[in-house]
Amino acid sequence: MDNESVNCIITSPPYWGMRAYDNGDDSREIGNEKEFEQYVTNLTNIFEEAKRVLRKDGSLWLNLGDKYVDKALLGMPWRVAISLMDSGWIMRNDVIWHQLKGTQSCKDRLRDSYEHVFHFVKSKKYYYDSDAIRIKPTKLPTVSSSNTISSTGVSGKKYRKLIQESTELTEQEKANALKALDDTLAEIRTGLVNDFRMTIRGAQRAWHSDSVKISGRAKELVNRGYYIMKIYAKGHLPSDVWDIVTEDTWRKDSHCAVYPEELLITPILATCPENGIVLDPFNGTGTTVVASLKLGRCGVGIDLSPQYIKTAQERIDNLGFLF
């Protein structure tokens, strides 16, 4: 593949020591290495090549699971991740994919319920469309000519009274706080802000740390006498813990450990522009390509197994797109 030709790489290589794939004795198959150190080296080399193919502003999302050997959890995802960091990749997030499952087969430890999805970039400036992945508020504010009430019922009346009756604020601070409150209510009326909370010095218990050393909000409270936390109508960013159930069984049409399409929505929307190219170098049954096509992106998949390539092709054909 050409240098810097894809926008985004999303992939889940075989986990070490699972011997899950039907590639015969193909020595090129990843995951069958005798020593895990060799597995880490092989993956690092493959992702060096992926780095060449990725655009300068591109992203790599890497899903990896862990393994116990002789009772010891190996920490494989982190071994690979650290090796990738050492080879120049910049890690932006360690997403915990909480799988909401886990069989209780072991009686002397907790059940496993998550895997990692690491987000890496090639350079500090990279493509990221945060607006595309924001979680929009479900309730809207009430706005009428006589009333402005935030989505959770805050009208500002209580805050106005606290400011006016404050014995802590100077007259100037009171005037500033009232103006800030009115400005916020105006932002609700224009649809910019969905909800807000106000903290007034000496009036309520602060929800943040009181230490001005560690909290910018505490500092504002000391310097200005109030702090307003706003929830913007365009929504908030998802966190780095994702609750997504696994595919309930391995696909019937092959014996490949698939990841759910839902896992790919945030990576694709945030780090691949429309009509851009998503690459999966361990394509399996083609989930990455299918999700990319559904979201209006192009998809390229590579796999060692002709059988999985065939399954992937069938899934793509079933989408009914005309190429």
Ligand X SMILES: C[S@@+](CC[C@H](N)C(=O)[O-])C[C@H]1O[C@@H](n2cnc3c(N)ncnc32)[C@H](O)[C@@H]1O
Is residue 303 part of the contact set for ligand X (CB under 6 A)?
Answer: yes
| H or E element that contains 185 | helix 171-189
- Nearer to ligand X among residue 14 and residue 299 (C-beta): 14
- Nearer to ligand X among residue 83 and residue 155 (C-beta): 83
Provide, rounded to whole angstroms, the least separation between the CB of residue 55 and ligand X.
21
- Bridge partners of 91, per DSSP, are 120
Is residue 1 part of the contact set for ligand X (CB under 6 A)?
Answer: no
For residue 254, the SS3 value is coil
- Nearer to ligand X among residue 225 and residue 281 (C-beta): 281
Of the candidate residues 29, 115, 173, 187, the single one contacting ligand X (CB under 6 A):
29
Question: Percentage helix, strand, coil, to 5, in the chain?
Answer: 30, 20, 45
Of the candidate residues 192, 214, 222, 302, the single one contacting ligand X (CB under 6 A):
302
Is residue 10 part of the contact set for ligand X (CB under 6 A)?
Answer: no
Number of residues in contact with ligand X under rule CB under 6 A: 21
For residue 172, the SS3 value is helix
Determine how many CB atoms are found less than 10 A away from the CB of residue 50: 23
- Nearer to ligand X among residue 80 and residue 181 (C-beta): 80
- Nearer to ligand X among residue 10 and residue 162 (C-beta): 10
- Nearer to ligand X among residue 45 and residue 87 (C-beta): 45
As a whole number of angstroms, the distance between CA 193 and CA 95 comes to: 28
Q: How crowded is the C-beta side of 194, counted as CA atoms within 13 Å?
A: 14
Provide, rounded to whole angstroms, the least separation between the CB of residue 105 and ligand X.
21
What Cα–Cα distance (Å) separates residue 48 from each residue in 26, 37, 94, 283? 22, 17, 20, 18
Is residue 282 part of the contact set for ligand X (CB under 6 A)?
Answer: yes
Provide, rounded to whole angstroms, the least separation between the CB of residue 281 and ligand X.
6
Write phi, then psi, for 84 (nearest 5 degrees).
-65, -40
Of the candidate residues 59, 166, 194, 287, the single one contacting ligand X (CB under 6 A):
287
Of the candidate residues 12, 148, 166, 271, the single one contacting ligand X (CB under 6 A):
12
Contacts with ligand X, 231-260, as mask; x by CB under 6 A: -------------------------xxxx-
Of the candidate residues 1, 85, 91, 304, the single one contacting ligand X (CB under 6 A):
304
| H or E element that contains 68 | strand 68-69
For residue 135, count CB atoms less than 10 angstroms from its CB and return exposed for 0-12, middle for 13-18, buried for 19 or more.
exposed
Concatenating the DSSP letter of every residue in 24-56 gives TT-TT-TT--SSHHHHHHHHHHHHHHHHHHEEE
Is residue 299 part of the contact set for ligand X (CB under 6 A)?
Answer: no
Is residue 300 part of the contact set for ligand X (CB under 6 A)?
Answer: no
The residues of the shown chain that bind ligand X, judged by CB under 6 A, are 12-14, 21, 23, 28-30, 256-259, 282, 284-285, 287, 302-305, 308
